[in-house]
Amino acid sequence: MSAAEHRRRLMSLAVPVYFELLAGVMAGIINMVWVARLGGQAVAAVAVATNVENLLLGVILVAGSGTTVLVARARGAGDPAALRSAVRGGWALWALVTPVVAIGGHLCREPLARLVLGGDEGRPLSLATGYFSIALPGIAVFFATNVVDGILKGTGDTRTPMKLSLLANGLILVLDPLLILGLGLGVRGAAISTVLGRTAALVCGFRTLLRDGTLPRTGGGAPLSVRELGAGARRTAATGLPMSADFVVRMAGTLALVAVVARIGVGDVAAYGMATKAMYAATMAFYAVRQAAAIHTAHQLGAGQDERRTVGRQALLLAGALGLAAALALLATGPWIMRAFGAGGAVAEAGTLYLRCVGPYLLLLACFIALGGVFEGSGGSPALARITTCGVVLQLALAYGLSGWGLPGICAAMALSAAVQCAAVAGTYRRTKPKRVLGRGGARRQDSTRRRSARRWPRPGRTRSCTR
């Protein structure tokens, strides 16, 4: 496959993923728009609850991302047994994780709400508890949808998850005013509409798998034993855990950075929060390229073609172009972006300055995230997770030291940390040697050759007896 073909394949996979990720961000925005009509306390309750849900996404990424990579490898190798094992392993892991989060979260909903609200009592606490009482049991649907998306993406179908996400958002957009205001359910109505929208998307996702023959033979074969299901779950967890850790560490670092920005001033915190939301449109594009690179790399390796270097170069070119375009767009449109968020005065000036200074960080982040997809698809995620963890710690330390320069100092800390992470991942990538991979059926042929060789040539120190 030529470099141009790799690039086209990455783009065809990444574009639907981008709109899917963007739609996921829009779901929270839709809820916030309608809940805002109930007052500031309701907005605060839903905002913190949504942040908890975003953090819980890192938990199920173990199953979703692991399933995507394993399914892509199995499809590339043309191995139905491995495909069935990958799908069943993902669902086995979902069955293990979901009850702990859904049931445990529901039972601990009030302490959890008190924790995220900083011990605040009164109406915000009761509102957040009410939201959690519906959203946390409904997390089972969210987790199941993530596994379905992982299966579909592993087969190379990124368009269906995009359509499912748009369907869920469309239903939330319709149900929110009806349940929140029309029936007077308040923040509980926002939680109900979210769960119902995701449930409809999950049902359609299952129908797609069964009706369109996306996985034509995953239901075949003998039922697996508990031991086999456990082994599949462990494989999925081993593949997806580093990706989940990478996401959770980066999310925790983003939350911790808010505390560092708070040392500068309250207005800077507001400006930072608005500017960060504006950057979602860019960062979602970087993560879309990352997922596309992971899927494509895993599929190529499964098919017996180790073209990680070519895929990595094309992913870097694509993400680098997106990062440069985003940096230039934010540089030119910073004042209008802050005005769109309703900011004025010192907050608007601080946010505009931040958006104009964040360009180098965005370009470096785009390259790091895109190259990470090659690591995910080839089983190198543990190294990536270690680099991310060290990078986040370095970013917080630098931000603390440079916070005296205001938001430009925060941008400088982010850019320096991203540069170190890029250098580390590039060094690891350059040391990567092409694997000696086998094509379709190659593993079975090699195993049979080894067995014949073992029968023909006994091990040293062992002789064949001529008598019984």
- Domain extents in the chain: 1-238, 262-454
The pLDDT of residue 118 is 59
Q: Check whether 419 has a pLDDT greater than 90.
A: yes
Find the range with the poorest average confidence among 42-51, 69-78, 112-121: 112-121
The pLDDT of residue 26 is 78
Average pLDDT of the chain to the nearest whole number: 81
Mean pLDDT of 420-424: 92
Q: d(Cα 224, Cα 159) in Å, to the nearest integer?
A: 31
Q: Are 382 and 330 in contact (CB under 8 A)?
A: no
The pLDDT of residue 116 is 66
The pLDDT of residue 279 is 84
The pLDDT of residue 449 is 37
Find the range with the poorest average confidence among 27-41, 116-130, 371-385, 420-434: 116-130
Model pLDDT for residues 45-67, shown as the tens digit of each residue = 777 677 777 777 778 888 888 88
Q: pTM for the whole thing?
A: 0.80
Q: Check whether 131 has a pLDDT greater than 50.
A: yes
Q: How confident is the model at residue 328 (pLDDT cuts 50, 70, 90)?
A: very high
The pLDDT of residue 204 is 93
Q: How far from the centroid of its chain's Cα atoms is residue 240's Cα?
A: 11
Q: Check whether 217 has a pLDDT greater than 80.
A: no
The pLDDT of residue 168 is 92
- CB atoms inside a 10 Å sphere around CB 173: 17
Q: d(Cα 135, Cα 144) in Å, to the nearest integer?
A: 14
Which amino acid appears at position 298 of this protein? A
Q: How many residues does the chain have?
A: 468
Residue 285 CB partners (closer than 8 Å, separation 6+)? 14, 18, 319, 322, 326, 366
Q: Check whether 361 has a pLDDT greater than 90.
A: yes
Tokens of 100: 């702990």
The pLDDT of residue 459 is 39
61, 242, 307, 315 from 368: Cα distances, Å:
19, 16, 19, 10
